[in-house]
Structure 1
């Protein structure tokens, strides 16, 4: 802090005779004698009486004489206004549906992972043994990890949970869906894409389907995640900004992709899986020749054009053998392990939302069919199944894109409808607005909540010259363009060129402004 900077963090000490104002970043002490109103600055040498009352504030605005004497006018709201910004960020994350917790059951792990774990694992606290990929308040609980406070620490999972009591052919069973969003590379639809250097991908979600029948428990796990390459799709006011591969060495692309695949292989075993992005992903996999992954491309739009979504069965049939070989986890009521899931389907489209959820629901349905061949005749359960998977799509889409999912009419009814198309249009427009105008703040909020951002005062942020210059130029350019368009009584070549010039200025300046991310988290 230079000698010319104004003190912005001070403490006021009050006695019946004097005011003492102590800046926290200096050795000066401002003393105001209340009866005489004499003001002086002294070197702080412990003059403040121990019995004085105190109040923190952020700026001395002056003093005023009223009937009862001299009153100091101080600013106390700056810290509150700063805090409100960050409180709004925290509330933004916590108000995004949905967060889940359990006091006893570890919802961050699949049933198969919990079965494979040694006895020492169960001696740890719920927070310690949770899968840290899915603990959304892990950063907030960091100060408590070093203390013996394990019974106070409640892990929070972000995603979707639906637990249902069902009946088929007079037999009662529990059917559940749990979707767990990863904290690594978490964020919003256009601000978080692709992979990072550690192999973590954006919008990674693990979805587990659980069936419990008379003590027998089965589990089928799938995952989704952004294409594991270095790429971006920054919002730029276009309806659909083109995805762009980052200019990195091809070997770096392959290395990041390999790290991601190795993560999946370690956690789940062997696994199977838009234009230029699809080709780049395929090329990376071919170059890697990774033995524990098989790539299965499917041109969703081409195959299912004209609302022929029944053709998705082509993809499901193509991976049917893989699903049979992969199997599912089944633990019998007597504790006997009947089967393990050896591998995982990793499904992705460009967003890993709408089309991804449709395919995952069909794979989950096929898994249930292997356990109950008469599933198709159970209309009430079929309706429940479709609606729960559509709810899963909506919630995961809200968490990533800010709106409900597209194409859920197919998931709910088994066919595309005109009403569904209208709903998709509304959601698409809402996504456009949020992705371009509000998701920057939401991304900062997620980074702050997860510990990847830093808290700084907005008053100390150096915005740079263009934060003031460009908006000013834009306002002038818009005003001049409007004036040149409506004021001339008749248009000449000169006036048209004048209008063209200012129109170009509006376009160029707007293009320079809107790609800039306004935020306070690093």
Structure 2
């Protein structure tokens, strides 16, 4: 519940056709139609979607407080923040007729966890609401950077809420991809090199992005956690230079080389960053509204945090900023001074932010987040590092061999690709694109060569010169074929087809 209003999570969905029969479709159309349906189901099965019949879940508590009574009387779908309504395209036909407004329920995608906590027999409600933006939504490597309208990939607004006896508090943070034109196309390599697209007008679109953020939130504190050397360092320098050239007084840039500062498990070094941001956090503040309607404080600005993915490092820093506000709010409510004094509450706090990290990561990258052992326990461990390794390998597989389909699913669901009348008959369906001949040939050769090499290693009772020559030949075949596949890696990746 938020402000006494119920919030619901969608647990299952069904797709019901208007036309039950498919006899009028050709075999190829049926095949492609099934693929499109599977895309829709893939998005619907991605955790988690949320809605409310009475509470405008797309807006922060502060934005709702600043609206007029007339605005609050509008239907939910008309007054919702369109940046975060994931079924806005699906509602278009229904929303064209006022008598159908009751069926137009805005749905957000992200993560919501709300609970009642007890400290010294005092009960209060708290939790977080993360809203994923629909603009430039997509998968980890196929959706990077910014578009010409100033929308960035993996943009998420996260709001931490605290309610006590009618008093309400809210603290909002945002995350989003580095707002420049850049790409990191999967190519079978473990970590494809991020590339800045040189010929684009980075300054104009970056300025457009900041203008929109300032309009929605006020002052922007840009916390950039990417490496300051190597391929990520190129992006960091470009981002820093663009911000400097824009020279907006409402934008402040703060770079922190997360991996360099915290190497060898020195995660205490994050306190250096927190100290740097302390004055900004004091100036930005948070939203605090008393039960009698008195506004004690308002949030004027946000921390806009990013790393290369805006997932793992980003969530760690966001949770630390949120914890500082959480302590201050609970102190204002006279509930406690520090949550560190109540281990069970601190565990709850860490658990919620860890869950947020995992869900947002699953939605974007296909796996849970990395570095969650620190968010969960406050310490970095070798077991946590091992789990990160497993998640990284899983990400590698999904980003290379299944994310093209997931990207297409997102484009179709959000209406960025609309199925054309006469696909497969009058015009070619984009799903029918053909692979290069190398796609099947070289993996087959690699499989045969690997099998022969293994057979020559384990089968002979003794190793003669002839056997050793065979082993050398098949080993060379394996190496050469593998190198060729890596060289043409982009042809073996599951690429999006619709756009």
Aligned pair partner of 2:45 in 85, 91, 95: 95
What's the counterpart of residue 276 of structure 1? Answer: 234
In structure 2, relative to structure 1, the CA distance for the partners of 1:410 and 1:461 (3 Å cut) is same
Q: Matched residues in 2 for 1:175 and 1:246: separation?
A: 43
Aligned pair partner of 1:261 in 207, 210, 213: 210
What do residues 412-462 of structure 1 show as CA deviations (whole Å, max 9, x unaligned)? Answer: 111011221121111111111101101110011011101112326578347
Asked whether 1:398 is paired with 2:362, we answer: yes
Asked whether 1:512 is paired with 2:470, we answer: no
Aligned pair partner of 1:412 in 368, 376, 380: 376
Q: Matched residues in 2 for 1:375 and 1:238: separation?
A: 43
In structure 2, relative to structure 1, the CA distance for the partners of 1:158 and 1:502 (3 Å cut) is closer
Within 5 Å, which residues of 2 pair with 1:468-507? 468-474=436-442, 478=446, 489=466, 504=480, 507=483
Q: Matched residues in 2 for 1:94 and 1:440: separation?
A: 17
Asked whether 1:293 is paired with 2:251, we answer: yes
Q: Matched residues in 2 for 1:212 and 1:498: separation?
A: 68
Find the structure with the greater CA-based Rg. Answer: 1
Contiguous gaps of at least 5 residues in structure 2: 1-20, 228-232, 332-336, 457-464
Question: Does structure 1 conserve the Cα–Cα contact (< 8 Å) formed by 2:431 and 2:497?
Answer: no
Classify the secondary structure of the residue corresponding to 1:192. Answer: coil
**How far off its partner does 1:511 sit?**
3.6
Classify the secondary structure of the residue corresponding to 1:305. Answer: coil
What do residues 68-89 of structure 1 show as CA deviations (whole Å, max 9, x unaligned)? Answer: xxxxxxxxx5443322211111
**How far off its partner does 1:374 sit?**
3.3
Deviates more, 1:376-385 or 1:192-201: 376-385
Aligned pair partner of 1:361 in 295, 316, 319: 319
Question: Does structure 2 conserve the Cα–Cα contact (< 8 Å) formed by 1:455 and 1:521?
Answer: no
Question: Does structure 2 conserve the Cα–Cα contact (< 8 Å) formed by 1:179 and 1:208?
Answer: yes
Within 5 Å, which residues of 2 pair with 1:46-65? 56-58=23-25
Aligned pair partner of 2:149 in 198, 215, 218: 198
Q: Matched residues in 2 for 1:420 and 1:492: separation?
A: 45
Question: Does structure 2 conserve the Cα–Cα contact (< 8 Å) formed by 1:474 and 1:510?
Answer: no
Contiguous gaps of at least 5 residues in structure 1: 1-53, 60-76
Question: Does structure 2 conserve the Cα–Cα contact (< 8 Å) formed by 1:100 and 1:156?
Answer: yes
Q: Matched residues in 2 for 1:290 and 1:483: separation?
A: 61
Deviates more, 1:98-107 or 1:267-276: 267-276
**How far off its partner does 1:365 sit?**
0.5
What's the counterpart of residue 134 of structure 2? Answer: 183
**How far off its partner does 1:336 sit?**
1.3
Q: TM-score under structure 2 normalisation? A: 0.83
Question: Does structure 1 conserve the Cα–Cα contact (< 8 Å) formed by 2:51 and 2:106?
Answer: yes
What do residues 366-392 of structure 1 show as CA deviations (whole Å, max 9, x unaligned)? Answer: 001222223321222111001001011
In structure 2, relative to structure 1, the CA distance for the partners of 1:465 and 1:122 (3 Å cut) is closer
Aligned pair partner of 1:467 in 435, 446, 461: 435
What do residues 480-522 of structure 1 show as CA deviations (whole Å, max 9, x unaligned)? Answer: 96799799947889x9899868965664466436346544422
Question: Does structure 2 conserve the Cα–Cα contact (< 8 Å) formed by 1:309 and 1:416?
Answer: yes
Classify the secondary structure of the residue corresponding to 1:356. Answer: helix
What do residues 455-478 of structure 1 show as CA deviations (whole Å, max 9, x unaligned)? Answer: 265783478997253335436754
What's the counterpart of residue 439 of structure 1? Answer: 403
Backbone CA RMSD of aligned residues: 2.7
Q: TM-score under structure 1 normalisation? A: 0.80
**How far off its partner does 1:56 sit?**
3.8
Asked whether 1:428 is paired with 2:392, we answer: yes
Q: Matched residues in 1 for 2:451 and 2:348: separation?
A: 60
Q: Matched residues in 1 for 2:482 and 2:188: separation?
A: 14
Question: Does structure 2 conserve the Cα–Cα contact (< 8 Å) formed by 1:473 and 1:509?
Answer: no
**Structure 1 or 2: larger strand share?**
1
Question: Does structure 2 conserve the Cα–Cα contact (< 8 Å) formed by 1:470 and 1:513?
Answer: no
Q: Matched residues in 2 for 1:323 and 1:482: separation?
A: 58
Q: Matched residues in 2 for 1:165 and 1:465: separation?
A: 52
Aligned length: 449
In structure 2, relative to structure 1, the CA distance for the partners of 1:169 and 1:138 (3 Å cut) is same
Which structure exhibits the higher relative contact order, with contacts defined as CA atoms closer than 8 Å and separated by 6 or more residues? 2
In structure 2, relative to structure 1, the CA distance for the partners of 1:490 and 1:172 (3 Å cut) is closer
Classify the secondary structure of the residue corresponding to 1:424. Answer: helix
Question: Does structure 1 conserve the Cα–Cα contact (< 8 Å) formed by 2:354 and 2:372?
Answer: yes
What's the counterpart of residue 73 of structure 2? Answer: 123
Deviates more, 1:479-488 or 1:340-349: 479-488
